[in-house]
Structures are given as structure tokens and as C-alpha cells.
């Protein structure tokens, strides 16, 4: 299927494109909470389950690695910087993909060098990464939806005043 040249051409002028920003403060607080929860739950749930003290320490270290690298990935996005509506979702998706690849990569390198017990360490890494995503995705989605709704309502008010 061939595409028309009209479909492929762009004006190059993105000045009309809305500019959105991420909730920087909310993301920072959410990251700290997710990190605290993913690390702090291991001493509570470890003794009830199958983890001994050493396993709990490694699970906590794994959670710190997963959450810490995830937080660095948030910093790479630069949530304080307003971005065009077409760029922000793409940037967030690219950063999230990079984090999802970097977290196990770094965890594997550390695992290979220090040889911790595998189950608690891996579960800790996964808990740290997933806890951040559970907090981050709703925060970003709500902020984007709110900004889109604000843009649409202001555009409909402008159209109503024109006509």
C-alpha cells in the first residue's frame, strides 16, 4: 500500500501543538513512597514467609536497586520540563523501556559479582521496579488527561465565542 505524499508531508510548524508537563512533585513523592514501601515491607513479610535475615537484607537491597534505577529513569525524562504533546508520551515510553531493560541488567551485573541468594534478591528487584510503576503510571495518566481536558474545554470555549 502506497501512502499519498499529502499524508507524509508535515508542515514542520509545531507551534500550535499543546505543551504538557508531568507532575514533578507528585512523581518525586510517589517515587520516595514506592521505594520506602518496596524496601520496608521485606522485614515485615520476610519472617512470616520463607526468608531468613540474610534473605531479607538481600531482598531489601534488590528493592533499592530496582527502585533506585527506576528513579534515575524518571530524572532522565526531566519531568519539570514542559514538552510538546507529541513528544511527552514517546519520551516517557522510551524512558520506561530503558528502565525495564536497565534494572535487570544492573541487577545481573551485581548478582554476578557478589552472588547473593537468588530468590530474595530477584524478588526485591522486581518489587522495587513494579512499586514505582504502580505509582507512576496513574500519576502521569491523570496529569495528562487533566491537561488534555483543560485544552479541550478552552478550545470549545474559544470556538463558542467565535461563532
pLDDT digits (tens, 9 = 90+) for 100-127: 999 999 999 999 999 999 999 999 999 9
Percent of the chain with pLDDT over 70: 90
DSSP string computed for the chain: -PPPHHHH------TTS-EE---HHHHHHHHHHHHHHHHHTHHHHTTTTT--HHHHHHHHHHHHHHHHHHHHHHHHH-TTS-EETTTHHHHHHHHHHHHHHHHHHHHHHHHHHH---HHHHHHHHHHHHHHHHHHHHHHHHHHHHHHHHHHHHHHHHHHHHH-
Q: What pLDDT score was predicted for residue 10? A: 57
Q: What's the pLDDT score for residue 1? A: 53
Read off the pLDDT of residues 28-64 as tens digits, 9 standing for 90 and up.
999 999 999 999 999 998 888 788 999 999 999 999 9
Q: How high is the pLDDT of residue 123?
A: 93
What global pTM score does this model have?
Answer: 0.81
* pLDDT over 80 (residue 159): no
Spans of all domains in the chain = 20-150
Among 4-18, 68-82, 108-122, which is the least confidently predicted range?
A: 4-18
pLDDT at 132: 94
* pLDDT given at position 125: 96
What average pLDDT does the segment 59-82 reach?
92
* 12 pLDDT tier (thresholds 50, 70, 90): low
Amino acid at each position: 500500500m502506497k501512502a499519498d505524499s499529502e499524508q507524509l508531508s508535515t508542515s514542520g510548524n509545531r507551534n500550535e501543538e499543546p505543551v504538557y508537563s508531568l507532575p514533578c512533585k507528585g512523581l518525586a513523592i510517589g517515587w520516595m513512597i514506592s521505594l520506602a514501601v518496596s524496601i520496608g515491607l521485606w522485614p515485615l513479610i520476610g519472617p512470616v514467609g520463607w526468608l531468613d535475615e540474610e534473605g531479607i537484607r538481600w531482598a531489601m537491597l534488590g528493592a533499592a536497586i530496582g527502585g533506585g534505577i527506576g528513579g534515575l529513569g524518571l530524572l532522565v525524562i526531566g519531568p519539570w520540563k514542559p514538552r510538546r504533546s507529541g513528544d511527552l508520551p514517546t519520551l516517557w515510553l522510551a524512558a520506561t523501556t530503558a528502565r525495564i531493560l536497565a534494572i535487570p541488567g544492573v541487577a545481573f551485573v551485581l548478582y554476578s559479582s557478589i552472588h547473593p541468594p537468588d530468590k530474595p534478591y530477584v524478588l526485591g528487584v522486581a518489587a522495587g521496579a513494579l512499586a514505582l510503576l504502580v505509582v507512576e503510571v496513574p500519576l502521569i495518566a491523570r496529569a495528562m488527561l487533566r491537561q488534555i481536558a483543560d485544552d479541550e474545554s478552552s478550545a470549545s470555549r474559544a470556538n463558542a465565542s467565535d461563532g
